[in-house]
């Protein structure tokens, strides 16, 4: 399953390095992170990392395969 996460602000490389399984794209005033999520546990793990780093997830959506 592929997912996209939109996070408030432009994230530095140091921050996005905490998500090695996700690619990133800067969009106005946000950062889009996207990539393959293997299962539900992996998805929750990514969300916990966002929370632990104090990042605000604006949107999460599953991408077409």
Average pLDDT score over residue span 26-53: 96
The residue whose two tokens read 């996209």 is 4
CA distance 21 to 49: 12
Per-residue pLDDT, 38: 96
Per-residue pLDDT, 36: 97
Degrees to nearest 5, angle at CA 36 with 38 and 31: 130
Average pLDDT score over residue span 6-30: 94
Per-residue pLDDT, 56: 97
pLDDT band at residue 3 under the 50/70/90 scheme = very high
The answer to whether 58 and 7 have CB atoms below 8 angstroms apart is: yes
pLDDT reading at 26 higher than 90: no
Average pLDDT score over residue span 9-15: 93
């Amino acid at each position: 399953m592929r997912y996209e996460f939109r996070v408030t602000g432009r994230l530095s490389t140091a921050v996005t390095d905490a998500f090695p399984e996700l690619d990133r794209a800067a969009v106005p005033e946000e950062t889009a992170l996207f990539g393959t999520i293997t299962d539900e546990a992996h998805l929750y793990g990514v969300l916990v990392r966002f929370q632990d780093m104090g990042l605000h997830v604006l949107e999460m959506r599953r991408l077409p395969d």
